[in-house]
Amino acid sequence: MKSEFTPPIGKISNITGQCISLIGNDIDTDRIIPARFLKCVNFNSLSESVFEDDRKTLKGKHPFDLKENKNASILVVNSNFGCGSSREHAPQALMRWGIKAIIGESFADIFYSNCIAIGIPCFTLPKKSIEEIQNYCDKQSLFLEIDLKNSLAESKDLNFNLEIKESSRKMFLSGEWDATSTLLDNENLIEKKFNQLPYIKFNTNFL
Amino acid sequence: MSQDTLFDKVWDLHKVSSLPGGSDQIFIGLHLIHEVTSPQAFGALKDKNLKVKFPDRTVATVDHIVPTDNQSRPFKDNLAEKMIETLEKNCLEHKIRFFNIGSGNQGIVHVVAPELGLTQPGMTIACGDSHTSTHGAFGSIAFGIGTSQVRDVLASQTLAINKLKVRQIWCDNKLSKGVYAKDLVLHIINKLGVKAGVGFAYEFAGPAIHELSMEERMTICNMSIEGGARCGYINPDEKTFSYIKNKLCAPKNEHWDKALRWWKSLKSDENSIYDDVIKLDASKVEPTVTWGITPGQSISINQQIPLLDELSPNDKLVAKEAYEYMSFKPGQLIKDTPIDVCFIGSCTNGRISDLRVAAKVLKGKKVSKNVKAFAVPGSEKVATEAKQEGIDQIFKNAGFQWREPGCSMCLAMNSDKLIGNQISASSSNRNFKGRQGSPNGRTLLMSPAMVAAAAINGKVSDVREFNNL
């Protein structure tokens, strides 16, 4: 288990860390954090329960239990990672375990939005490159330096041009990924929109 | 890029601004909250010293953690009690309307909002739950969000979000007897795959969709997310309008006329442009059952579980995982698979029409002695209606347990769970590993009629062989 957790804040431009490879397509958020752990009113205690059932099944052999991955912070996954339930508890649990960025073949939409909203950049790479990283991780530790400005991942042996949605990249570089204040900057426009919407007027029974 | 579809129109109408990064700021017309994904959002508001901007645009109910056997307070489960108390406190403090247990309107959030008339065409609807896509059945643009986005909607009534592409799924002809909306949507997800919808909104259209009742349309849109599409919708028509009419929160009198005029103008243009169009023949769809660990791993009732060689390279990895987890052999028939637990309920299939069709199958029959069967109405209203129609008695006489409304064993956050490697026939939406509360529990998704048939025979059965359909 990791030491104390500090959430990311402000601009995110570089992430350096060891990769942890998790093989499998369509890994859903129920697997990342089973529903019984959602019975909480804050996210603080989630890190211990990440992948709880998968880890129990693999009896210590799950990547999140291997000693050599103890300090890893860049998760490498296959396709449609984070599908299913919208629970933000899933990326929150990963983040609290120590994950700071994810590289995968593809991500489910809501999971991706949740990651962006809490400051975990998600990058994509073609299947071949992901497999290359995963094979490498099988044999030895891989330390990557991710440069968000140029969308690059570099290491001693492997280098990749990462893909990331332009809007997400810009938000991380400017620090606007924590969207609340950006949205509230347009308070006048929000009021204006509220007054323009046709259904606001005819929904007098709404409440 | 799509043009002049309903999705484009509703998106443009709600667009507040283009954000510096390139995503859009979208106004959310209706925000629904529940006890699981909202407490941290209210906590974050407090931390940032923010208020709820438009408390009238948010409506709350409690569904995920509620017990379905004994709902008296305090709940036996302390953690569940703490969650409902937190929601009660937050709603009171921020003046948010809350449909609590006993109000007559509590239930699964995606059952409750439509039956209250809150869900309407042309709205944007968000909720911290992936099955928010359900509301698209009314021609609204509705999608699930995470807790940080719940915070953003509470604080600003808007979201930062990238516009989706639009894929039309055109369904020709109509469903045959004994085949339901659930079968159709499982079929669609199987054909397109569980990630085909990533980055897309799905527009369901065509004669087979037009033919469906509003509740069946909700089943279809509900499971868009299982095909990867965060949002699914259907152009509104007369069925939509008459479903909404006279509901508690629906527009009344002169407001109704205004609403109707506007709603009638809301649909994809005949020559609108889609990013993609898929066509399929609904009359070819048969009762469909999942055999694996994703909602895309399904077959028709008379088919065999696919061999590895029959699958595309991309599907093989998950198929191997599924054979092992489910203890099924490739090539094995799904029909006659013994069942331990039958569950009828959920935001997919817990509405009155779902209970009616299951009751038709169950009437005068008995649940197999090897099966534990229970029915969980989607809302207090559904439960009341079922009682008025004598449906609860038909279920009870057949040997079903009749429970109080909630999400129940769809995701097993309460005490309704599979035990060990039990196998369930379930009218819910997800057959993920461990989804129904046991780390090695197994789920077969199917229509409520098929669940009822499985309950009687104690094994996966073809409901078309029941002559009281």
| Tokens, residue B73 | 């307070």
Domain with CATH 3.30.499.10 in chain B: 6-264, 288-465
Which B residues, 140 through 179, put their C-beta within 8 Å of a C-beta on chain A?
143-149, 151-152, 155-162
pLDDT at A207 over 60: no
**Distance between CA atoms of residues A58 and A65, nearest Å:** 9
Of B145, B259, B432, the CB nearest to A31: B432
Model confidence band, residue A176 (pLDDT cutoffs 50, 70, 90): confident
Distance of residue B100 Cα from the nearest chain A Cα, in angstroms? 15
ipTM rounded to 2 decimals: 0.96
Tokens of B232: 């699914």
Per-residue pLDDT of A74-102, as tens digits, reads 999 999 999 999 999 999 999 999 999 99
The answer to whether the Cβ–Cβ distance between B318 and A25 falls below 8 Å is yes
Q: What is the distance in angstroms between the Cα of B373 and the nearest Cα belonging to chain A?
A: 22
pLDDT at res. B468 = 76
**Are the beta carbons of B130 and A183 separated by less than 8 Å?**
no
Measured between CA atoms, the residue of chain B closest to residue A114 is B146
Tokens of B72: 């008296």
Tens of pLDDT along B328-348?
999 999 999 999 999 999 999
Q: pLDDT band at residue A1, thresholds of 50, 70 and 90? A: very low
Per-chain mean pLDDT for chain B: 97
Going by C-beta distance under 8 Å and a sequence separation of 6 or more, which residues neighbour residue B348?
B131, B182, B219, B222, B223, B410, B427, B428, B429
Average pLDDT over residues A34-62: 95
pLDDT band at B467 (very low <50, low <70, confident <90, very high): confident
Chain A environment of B97 (Cβ under 8 Å): 207
**Which range, of A45-49, B129-133, B147-151, averages the lowest pLDDT?**
A45-49
CB A100, CB A74: distance < 8 Å:
yes
Q: pLDDT value at position A5?
A: 86
Whether pLDDT at A206 is above 90: no
List of residues 6+ apart from A155 with CB closer than 8 A: A142, A143, A144, A145
The arithmetic mean of pLDDT across residues B68-76, rounded, is: 96
Q: B288-465 — its CATH code? A: 3.30.499.10
Q: What is the pLDDT of residue A3?
A: 57
pLDDT of residue A49: 96
**Closest CA–CA distance from residue B42 to any residue of chain A (Å):** 10
pLDDT in tens, A150-161: 999 999 999 999
Is the per-residue pLDDT at B453 higher than 50? yes
Closest listed residue to residue B407, CA positions, set B146, B78, B30, B34? B34
Give the position of tokens 């709350």. B60
User: In chain A, what are the domains?
Assistant: 14-176 (3.20.19.10)
Query: What is the bridge-based pairing of β-strands A143-147 and A14-21?
Result: antiparallel
Cβ–Cβ gap A199/B430 under 8 Å: no
**Residue of higher predicted confidence among A2 and B116:** B116
For the domain spanning B6-264, the CATH number is 3.30.499.10
Whether the pLDDT of residue A57 is over 60: the answer is yes
Residue count (chain B): 469
Whole-number average pLDDT of chain A: 95
Q: Which of A84, A167, A198 sits opposite B262 (nearest CB)?
A: A198
Check residue A135 and report its DSSP letter.
H
pLDDT tens readout for residues B262-303: 999 999 999 999 999 999 999 999 999 999 999 999 999 999
Whether B21 has a pLDDT exceeding 90, the answer reads no
- Contact of B250 with chain A, judged by CB distance below 8 Å, is answered with yes
Per-residue pLDDT at A164: 97
- Paired with B111 in beta bridges are none
- According to DSSP, the residues that pair with B232 across neighbouring strands are B202
Q: Do B25 and A202 lie within an 8 Å CB cutoff?
A: no
* pLDDT higher than 80, residue B174: yes
Interchain contact, B128 vs A86, CB within 8 Å: yes
Structure confidence at residue A201 (pLDDT): 87
Tell me which of A177 and B428 has the higher pLDDT: B428
Q: Is residue B154's pLDDT more than 90? A: yes
Structure tokens at B459: 């094994």
